[in-house]
């Protein structure tokens, strides 16, 4: 698989050296590219499909507590934004997360990472966003750093201080925005705790002007911008993301043709989060329209306790095809090469091209399409990260 196209090789082999892909091609040509020595580890794929490791490019991995009652309220007719306005939703997870210690948050997140790994995720973006004060947001970012050292899945940290205005500053939102801009962003950047800065642009969260102010400050501090936009209302996030040169604009269930056109022109990736639209019973993103507009689409779980409590990234591929209209190739690229682009990773990431990190999956499936067709289960047999077998 390479860049913008899925390339299938029948009877393939992959050679790895020092944690990187050395070569991938027909097994019959392996001997002229790589030598098997006594200390070579050989993983026999046994007729199974081999793909790059999956990249989940949008998760809210670190939080405490759960929100089952909120789901019941939604199924009884309340909307996601009504629950948030009433101090529930994100704000209820903020209360439980603030009360949790760093160790407790690490313990809560480790099983999520284990499940992600079993679904084939070898790189995972992880956002803060359930702290909503400087110390609590930095705590979440430190938890992400700790998690990266404790288990094999690679983590990409994102500051999402602008996820919601905390309850105590509800009547003084400018003060909170000043804190994000003046304290959180500089501290996260100075301490090297975040690569990206994200903002939730939505009614009951942050306005277009506020989003621009926060992301501009983030860029000045050396963080890369991305945003949640168009989940329930189109407030101009696609256009803003393109103007700022964001790595990705995520959600986009509601987006204008102009916005998509600008994203295509600037090479901004659209991250579709089909689990969230499904689970909140809201409008599904039209991924086929994004692709027609020339926008590259990545596919992610949006793993979080409210709108998408799932680690099942392969299921998101299926949903992006069935509900979103992506082609099967685009869906596979969506969790590999396009997801790498959404995280501004080097061009070889999410591929098996020479020089790419040797993050490789072996699936119990004879055809890669099976990963999408036989849905909602994991077909992963073995996972290799940086050239080391980490599963089983």
Six token digits for residue 381: 């047999």
Number of residues counted as binding ligand NIG (CB under 6 A): 13
198 binds Fe ion (CB under 5 A): no
CA distance 258 to 180: 30
Placement of tokens 């793993």 in the chain: 303
Cβ of residue 89: shortest distance to ligand NIG, in angstroms?
5
Judged by CB under 6 A, the stretch of 19-27, 117-125, 132-140, 301-309 that binds ligand NIG is 301-309
Judged by CB under 6 A, the stretch of 89-97, 177-185, 350-358, 371-379 that binds ligand NIG is 89-97
- Residues 288-327, interacting with Fe ion (CB under 5 A): 302
Sign of CA dihedral 271, 277, 283, 288: positive
**Binder of ligand NIG out of 90, 187, 358, 360 (CB under 6 A):** 90
With CB under 5 to 8 Å by kind, the binding choice for 90 among Fe ion, ligand NIG, none is: ligand NIG
**Binder of ligand NIG out of 97, 231, 301, 351 (CB under 6 A):** 231
With CB under 5 to 8 Å by kind, the binding choice for 305 among Fe ion, ligand NIG, none is: ligand NIG
277 binds ligand NIG (CB under 6 A): no
**Binder of ligand NIG out of 60, 74, 112, 349 (CB under 6 A):** 60
307 binds ligand NIG (CB under 6 A): yes
Helix (H, G, I), strand (E, B), or coil: what is residue 50? strand
Judged by CB under 6 A, the stretch of 173-181, 260-268, 281-289, 297-305 that binds ligand NIG is 297-305
**Binder of ligand NIG out of 241, 274, 306, 314 (CB under 6 A):** 306
Contact mark string toward ligand NIG, 138..167, x via CB under 6 A: ------------------------------
What count of other Cβ atoms lies within 10 Å of the Cβ of residue 288?
A: 16
Selection from 362, 297, 380, 293 nearest residue 335 by Cα: 297
Q: Are 107 and 146 in contact (CB under 8 A)?
A: no
Instruction: Give residue 368's Cα distance to chain centre.
Output: 21
Q: Which is nearer to ligand NIG, 176 or 200 (CB)?
A: 200
**Binder of ligand NIG out of 304, 310, 348, 378 (CB under 6 A):** 304
Sign of CA dihedral 312, 65, 182, 167: positive
232 binds ligand NIG (CB under 6 A): no
Placement of tokens 């030598």 in the chain: 35
Work out the burial of residue 354: count CB atoms within 10 Å of its CB; fewer than 13 is exposed, 13-18 middle, 19 or more buried. Answer: middle
**Binder of ligand NIG out of 89, 236, 309, 334 (CB under 6 A):** 89
- What are the φ/ψ torsions at residue 202 (nearest 5 degrees)? -170, 155
| Residue 199: strand pairing partners | 162, 227
132 binds ligand NIG (CB under 6 A): no
With CB under 5 to 8 Å by kind, the binding choice for 128 among Fe ion, ligand NIG, none is: none
The runs of H, that is alpha helices, within the chain are 68-75, 80-85, 90-99, 102-118, 134-150, 173-179, 185-190, 208-220, 237-244, 257-266, 274-279, 287-292, 313-322, 328-334, 337-342, 370-373
Residue ranges that bind ligand NIG, judged by CB under 6 A: 60, 89-90, 93, 200, 228, 231, 276, 302, 304-307
**What residue ranges bind Fe ion (CB under 5 A)?**
302
């Amino acid at each position: 698989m390479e860049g913008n196209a899925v390339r299938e090789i029948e009877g393939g082999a992959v050679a790895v050296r020092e944690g990187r892909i050395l070569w991938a091609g027909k097994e019959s040509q392996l001997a002229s590219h790589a030598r098997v020595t006594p200390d070579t580890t050989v993983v026999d794929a046994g007729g199974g499909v081999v793909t790059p490791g999956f990249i989940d490019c949008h998760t809210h991995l670190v939080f405490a507590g759960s929100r089952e009652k909120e789901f019941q309220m939604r199924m009884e007719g309340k909307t996601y934004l009504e629950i948030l306005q009433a101090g529930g939703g994100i704000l209820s997870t903020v209360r439980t997360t603030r009360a949790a210690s760093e160790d407790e948050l690490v313990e809560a997140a480790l099983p999520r990472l284990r499940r992600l790994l079993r679904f084939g995720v070898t790189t995972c973006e992880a956002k803060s966003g359930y702290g909503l004060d400087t110390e609590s947001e930095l705590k979440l970012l430190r938890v992400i750093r700790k998690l990266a050292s404790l288990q094999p899945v690679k983590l990409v940290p994102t500051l999402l201080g602008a996820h919601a205005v905390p309850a105590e500053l509800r009547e003084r939102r400018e003060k909170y925005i000043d804190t994000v801009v003046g304290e959180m962003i500089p501290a996260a950047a100075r301490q090297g705790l975040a690569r990206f800065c994200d903002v939730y642009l939505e009614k009951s969260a942050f306005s277009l002007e506020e989003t621009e102010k926060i992301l501009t400050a983030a860029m000045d501090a050396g963080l890369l911008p991305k945003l949640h936009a168009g989940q329930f209302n189109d407030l101009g996030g696609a256009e803003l993301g393109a103007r700022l040169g964001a790595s990705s604009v995520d959600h986009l269930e509601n987006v204008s043709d102009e916005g998509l056109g600008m994203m295509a022109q600037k090479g901004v990736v659209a991250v579709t989060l089909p689990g969230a639209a499904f689970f909140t019973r809201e409008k599904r993103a039209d991924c086929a329209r994004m692709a027609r507009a020339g926008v590259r689409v990545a596919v992610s779980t949006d793993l979080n306790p409210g709108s998408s409590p799932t680690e099942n990234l392969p299921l998101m591929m299926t949903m992006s095809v069935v509900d979103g209209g992506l082609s099967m190739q685009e869906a596979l690229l969506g969790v590999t090469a396009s997801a790498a682009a959404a995280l501004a990773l080097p061009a070889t990431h999410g591929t098996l091209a020479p020089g790419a990190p040797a993050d490789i999956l072996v699936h119990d499936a004879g055809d890669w399409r099976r990963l999408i067709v036989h849905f909602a289960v994991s077909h992963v047999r073995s996972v290799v990260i940086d050239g080391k077998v980490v599963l089983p």
